[in-house]
């Protein structure tokens, strides 16, 4: 487990002097200038913006100190950047114009001027940020990126449709843990300097609104709990609490751990919600603050927009309940539905997340099944499989360049965490022949659904297409296209080969599940992260950021995300909230 560094005492003393020198206000009896509810990345970013401007912050969270950084700590650390030096070194030609048209093609905003009215403006501001100061701002906080850029969410194969036209997924050295680290450090420095007070194990149940203005929070103090990061904690109530301030910022995240809420807002366009899903976020990502803020007058929008993956695995070494891990696939695995039929284009590995989910959940004869399958070779898993999550990428999380080169570039075999799933994961089967592989795959379902001869015909048809550098098969075309990009040829796309070639084996079957992840809608906010009420007017003193606010405006992504935008959305909206609250509490 990564431990954050100690407090920088000279800087802490500097912060203390800022506080001592600040003018006393008439409202000096308030508990803080600003209360932040939620100690994840958005909340920590807002806290830094406030304390660096001399504001007193009360940082409130229902979990213990081990969970500072929240869900972002566990992420892979992907960051959406446009026209970066890393892209240019890889020969990628990107621009604000191309990124903006990709964003619009993916978002498909269709609720203007109502629920999307602020989301569109947030989207434009965010893409401009990604093409402008975002990289320099991040590097100014000590972040750096792998030299290769990933090509995530390649889209629906339409020039004006969903997807990234070019690689934009910049992986941070340190993964999500490294993204969170400087903001955790700033918070601890501010606490040592007297500008920030941690209120761990404080669960907010009510927002205090007086004469239409947010002035504080109420809730329960929860019993002490020394559970490790990410593990479930108790909900035993020991006392009441109340805090007051000039402003309140809400940054408590989405609904991904509450499958009942996911099913409640599951949209009809995605068919029926699965009966069984794996969970991609810790149990504290419970969505409680959405209803609490609505009771206080906040407007919730786009709640039917959500982002769940179809390449989920049961974690063989779980931390939170139902812990799932997502495969970040390269383009070469063959994807089959529960009945053994190859998924049609554009529902290919790494292309169209929600399009694939919609296909699997709305096709009548497979909608009753909650799984699909990858079939691949040892050669593919060694080159193309990555697993999402900081703990699944220890070399990158530790910023160990030598280990990265040794394991992923120079080494033979699959990366260690991938191999651990191959050996221990309940969703993996391995065989040297297709008939035996299918027999093992059928053993993972309640009844045998797969026919080896049906799979063989489809695999052999695909195999015939790899003999030439051109093909009529959309997936083989995509593999060839991927290998034209230097970054993918080096580390993410295997040399095209026949899946049934014994030299590429053994064969591997992977049972895939829907993995819950993100809310794309939430509290509607203006460009200063100020919360809007049901009438569209600002609720004075109340702000929201991060996933709770749909990463800004109540739905900056529209219907689809381009990946690398979740951490960035927390940073961007948290920064906006902190700066705006600092301005409103000046004087």
DSSP structure string for 355-422: HHHHHHHHSTTTTT--EEEEEEEHHHHHHH-EE-SGGG-HHHHTT-HHHHIIIIIS--SS-HHHHHHH
| pLDDT tens for the chain, residues 1 to 587 | 444 433 443 444 444 444 433 433 344 589 999 999 999 999 999 999 999 999 999 999 999 999 999 999 999 999 999 999 999 999 999 999 999 999 999 999 999 999 999 999 999 999 999 999 999 999 999 999 999 999 999 999 999 999 999 999 999 999 999 999 999 999 999 999 999 999 999 999 999 999 999 999 999 999 999 999 999 999 999 999 999 999 999 999 999 999 999 999 999 999 999 999 999 999 999 999 999 999 999 999 999 999 999 999 999 999 999 999 999 999 999 999 999 999 999 999 999 999 999 999 999 999 999 999 999 999 999 999 999 999 999 999 999 999 998 888 888 889 999 999 999 999 999 999 999 999 999 999 999 999 999 999 999 999 999 999 999 999 999 999 999 999 999 989 999 999 999 999 999 999 999 999 999 999 999 999 999 999 999 999 999 999 999 999 999 999 999 999 999 999 999 999 999 999 999 86
CB 51 within 8 A of CB 263: no
User: 453-467 as b/e, with b when 16 or more CB fall inside 10 Å?
Assistant: eebeeebeebbebbe
Q: What contacts 80, CB < 8 A, 6 or more positions away?
A: 130, 168, 169, 170, 562, 563, 564, 565, 568
Structural domain includes residue 321 = yes
The pLDDT mean for the chain works out to: 95
Q: Which pLDDT tens digit goes with each residue over 500-539? A: 999 999 999 999 999 999 999 999 999 999 999 999 999 9
| Residues 403 and 507 grouped into a single domain | yes
The residue among 175, 201, 223 that closes a domain is 175
| Residues 48 and 147 grouped into a single domain | no
Query: Which two tokens mark 165?
Result: 């036209």
| Residues 88 and 129 grouped into a single domain | yes
| Residues 487 and 424 grouped into a single domain | yes
DSSP 8-state class, residue 343? P
Q: Which pLDDT tens digit goes with each residue over 371-398? A: 999 999 999 999 999 999 999 999 999 9
Structural domain includes residue 295 = yes
User: 205-238 as b/e, with b when 16 or more CB fall inside 10 Å?
Assistant: eebbbeeeebbbbebbbbeebeeebbbebeeeee
SS3 73: helix
Q: Provide the β-strand partners of residue 507.
A: 377, 431
Handedness of CA 489, 490, 496, 499 (dihedral sign): negative
| Residues 441 and 351 grouped into a single domain | yes
Residue 544's domain spans which residues?
9-21+32-75+176-254+282-305+519-551+564-584
Q: Could you give the dihedral angle defined by the CA atoms of residues 19, 20, 25 and 31, in that order, rounded to the nearest 10 degrees?
A: 60
Angle formed at CA 121 by CA 119 and CA 122, multiple of 5 degrees = 65
Distance CA 252, CA 285 (A): 8
Structural domain includes residue 277 = no
| Residues 62 and 152 grouped into a single domain | no
CATH number at residue 182: 3.50.50.60
**Ramachandran angles phi, psi of 531, nearest 5°:** -75, 135
Cα–Cα distance list, 356 to 293, 349, 375 (Å): 33, 9, 16
| Residues 348 and 394 grouped into a single domain | yes
Structural domain includes residue 26 = no
Distance CA 160, CA 257 (A): 34
Angle formed at CA 268 by CA 272 and CA 333, multiple of 5 degrees = 55
| Residues 353 and 466 grouped into a single domain | yes
The residue among 144, 175, 206 that closes a domain is 175
Instruction: Give the total number of structural domains in the chain.
Output: 3
Structural domain includes residue 557 = no
Q: Provide the β-strand partners of residue 516.
A: 279
Distance CA 143, CA 122 (A): 24
């Amino acid at each position: 487990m990564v431990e954050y560094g100690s407090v920088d005492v000279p800087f802490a003393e500097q912060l203390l002097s800022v506080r001592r020198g600040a003018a006393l206000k008439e409202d000096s009896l308030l508990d803080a200038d600003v209360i932040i509810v939620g100690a994840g990345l958005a909340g920590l970013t807002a806290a830094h913006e406030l304390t660096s401007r001399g504001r007193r912050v009360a940082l409130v969270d229902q979990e213990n100190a081990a969970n500072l950084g929240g869900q972002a700590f566990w992420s892979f650390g992907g960051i959406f950047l446009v026209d970066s030096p890393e892209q240019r070194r890889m020969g990628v030609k990107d621009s604000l114009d191309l990124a903006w048209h990709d964003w619009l093609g993916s978002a498909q905003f269709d609720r203007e001027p109502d629920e999307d009215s602020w989301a569109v403006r947030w989207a434009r501001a965010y893409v401009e940020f990604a093409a402008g100061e975002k990289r320099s701002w991040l590097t100014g906080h000590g972040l750096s990126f792998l030299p290769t850029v990933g090509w995530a969410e390649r889209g629906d194969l339409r020039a004006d449709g969903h997807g990234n036209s070019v690689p934009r997924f910049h992986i941070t050295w340190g993964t999500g843990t490294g993204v969170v680290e400087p903001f955790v450090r700033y918070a601890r420095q501010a606490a040592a300097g007297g500008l920030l007070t941690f209120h761990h194990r404080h669960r907010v149940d009510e927002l205090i609104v007086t004469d239409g203005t947010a002035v504080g929070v109420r809730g329960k103090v929860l019993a002490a709990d020394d559970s490790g990061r990410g593990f479930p904690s108790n909900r035993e109530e020991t006392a009441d609490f109340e805090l007051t301030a000039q402003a309140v910022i809400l940054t408590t995240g989405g609904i991904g751990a509450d499958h009942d809420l996911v099913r409640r807002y599951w949209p009809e366009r995605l068919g029926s919600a699965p009966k069984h899903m794996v969970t991609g976020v810790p149990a504290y990502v419970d969505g409680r603050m959405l209803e609490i803020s609505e009771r206080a007058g906040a407007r919730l929008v786009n709640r039917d927009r959500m982002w769940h993956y179809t390449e989920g695995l049961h974690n063989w070494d779980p931390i939170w309940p139902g812990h799932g891990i997502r495969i970040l696939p390269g383009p070469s695995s063959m994807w089959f539905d529960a009945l053994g039929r190859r998924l049609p284009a554009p529902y290919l590995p790494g292309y169209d997340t929600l399009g694939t989910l919609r296909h699997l959940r709305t096709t009548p004869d497979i909608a009753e099944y909650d799984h699909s399958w990858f079939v691949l070779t040892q050669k593919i898993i060694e080159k193309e499989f990555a697993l999402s999550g900081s703990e699944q990428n220890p070399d990158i999380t530790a910023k160990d360049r030598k280990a990265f080169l040794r394991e992923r570039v120079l080494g033979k075999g699959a990366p260690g965490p991938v191999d651990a799933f191959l050996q221990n994961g309940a969703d993996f089967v391995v065989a040297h022949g297709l008939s035996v592989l299918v027999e093992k795959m059928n053993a993972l379902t309640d009844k045998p659904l797969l026919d080896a001869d049906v799979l063989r015909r489809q695999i052999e048809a695909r195999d015939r297409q790899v003999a030439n550098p051109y093909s009529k098969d959309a997936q083989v075309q995509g593999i060839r296209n991927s290998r034209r990009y230097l970054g993918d040829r080096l580390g993410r796309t295997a040399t095209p080969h026949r899946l049934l070639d014994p030299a590429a084996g053994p064969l591997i079957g992977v049972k895939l599940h829907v993995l819950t992840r993100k809310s794309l809608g939430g509290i509607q906010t203006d460009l200063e992260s100020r919360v809007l009420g049901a009438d569209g007017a600002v609720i004075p003193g109340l702000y929201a950021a991060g996933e709770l606010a749909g990463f800004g405006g109540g739905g900056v992504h529209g219907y689809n995300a381009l990946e690398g935008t979740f951490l960035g959305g927390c940073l961007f909206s948290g920064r906006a909230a902190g700066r705006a609250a600092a301005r409103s509490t000046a004087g």
